[in-house]
Amino acid sequence: MAPTIDVPETVEWQGKRVPVWSMQTIDYSLLLSQDPAEVDRVLKACLEDGYFYLDLRSIDGGRMLSDQQETLKLMHRFFEAPIEAKNEFGLISSHLGYEPLGSRTGAFGPGTKDGYEMLKVSRDEIQRGSPKVPAPIKNSGDLKVLENAIGSCNTITKIILSALSTGMNLTGAERFENSHRNDRPSTTTLSMMHYLPSEVTGAKKVGHQKHTDISSLTLLFSEQWGLQIRPPGTCGAREMGFVAPKPGCAFVHVGDSLRFASGMKMQSCIHRVVPFDPTEHRYSIAYFLRAEDDTMFVDSEGRHVTAGQWHDEKFKAFTDPWQWQAMAPKSMILGGMKEAGEDDP
């Protein structure tokens, strides 16, 4: 059965009232201590909803909030540079480099393109000493900012992963963190996104299309409105609604890989980004914790695939023209989550 959810508050958007969905707030300090009640709460949030707020307003989470602010400063410096300077970074791989505006399908489907530009930094690349990071970043204080942000995000997401393993009574090699080891290759990425005002992009380049993430866990920071989610379960009352920015908190949600690894027990969060205020520049920071490349699981099509294979296939689907996306299995873009009727048991 789908979980019972609170009647949401609403907010005005595009001339109508749209839900603002409520969710659990998990205390990071309590998770760090593996508090049994908090472990139960975070597991329940992932099983029933697939998302939650993570409260970082403590001595334990304060470092990440500070790193977030330093990363925002870096983003302003980078994205305000001329396009020629940004293109010097280039798109080195799917999880490293600069991706310009309009590279993917937009928030409102066929005929639209996305309305953001993105800087992506691979955790593996940082760990290897950053040989492919361009000199302007490598030879400035910006590299240290990126190292700090990735280090903080990695610690936080591993703490959550460990709590989920404990909550599901997993032991030994079955624990989720044992397929997310720091010394093994993965596509774990820090992504920094800049959504441009509509007067710059035009009406056909807006937001970020509806999807689930490739990741195991996504740790997301944004101080601005624009993120929408669809709660899992029977549709009807469960329409796309906004996530309210919450001071001192990150928004955390489950991605496809963790849903697969949990035997489809956890919910992969369907979400998109829309222009809430079309006149503003919107900035968000996302850390995508992903399983080791050779981790094997069964996907929503019943195939045995590796985490690396799933990443490559889904990344291609993201960047394909909408006509090709329409012909692909919905499991690619929506991770097998259903939008009508009951979600997979």
Q: Tens digit of pLDDT for each residue in 248-288? A: 999 999 999 999 999 999 999 999 999 999 999 999 999 99
> To the nearest whole percent, how much of the chain has pLDDT over 90?
64
As a whole number, mean pLDDT of residues 214-224 equals 97
Structure tokens at 51: 């998302």
pLDDT of residue 187: 95
21: pLDDT strictly greater than 80: yes
Separation of alpha carbons 114 and 294, rounded Å? 31
DSSP state of 7: P
- Burial zone of 12 (CB within 10 Å; 0-12 exposed, 13-18 middle, 19+ buried): exposed
Q: Tens digit of pLDDT for each residue in 284-309? A: 999 999 999 999 999 988 999 999 99
Of 142, 90, 141, 145, which is closest to residue 120 (Cα–Cα)?
A: 90
- Burial zone of 116 (CB within 10 Å; 0-12 exposed, 13-18 middle, 19+ buried): buried
Q: Tens digit of pLDDT for each residue in 179-207? A: 999 999 999 999 999 999 988 888 778 88
Separation of alpha carbons 162 and 230, rounded Å? 26
Separation of alpha carbons 153 and 220, rounded Å? 10
Band (345; pLDDT cuts 50, 70, 90): very low
pLDDT of residue 55: 98
Q: Where are the beta strands (DSSP E) in 79-202?
A: 91-93, 96-99, 116-122, 189-195
Strand partners, 251: 53, 220
pLDDT of residue 206: 85
Sign for the pseudo-dihedral over CA of 109, 113, 117, 121: positive
Residue type, 264: M
Q: Tens digit of pLDDT for each residue in 39-98? A: 999 999 999 999 999 999 999 999 999 999 999 999 999 999 888 888 877 777 878 889
Least-confidence region, from 111-115, 116-120, 202-206: 202-206
Structure tokens at 285: 């920071």
pLDDT of residue 341: 46
pLDDT of residue 343: 43
Of 150, 77, 84, 83, which is closest to residue 120 (Cα–Cα)?
A: 150
Separation of alpha carbons 220 and 289, rounded Å? 11
Residue that is written with structure tokens 């900035």 in the block: 283
Of 94, 89, 274, 121, which is closest to residue 191 (Cα–Cα)?
A: 121
Angle formed at CA 75 by CA 71 and CA 80, multiple of 5 degrees: 160
Global model pTM greater than 0.95: no
Residue that is written with structure tokens 């591993």 in the block: 158
239: pLDDT strictly greater than 90: no
- What is the widest separation between alpha-carbon atoms in the chain? 54
3: pLDDT strictly greater than 50: no
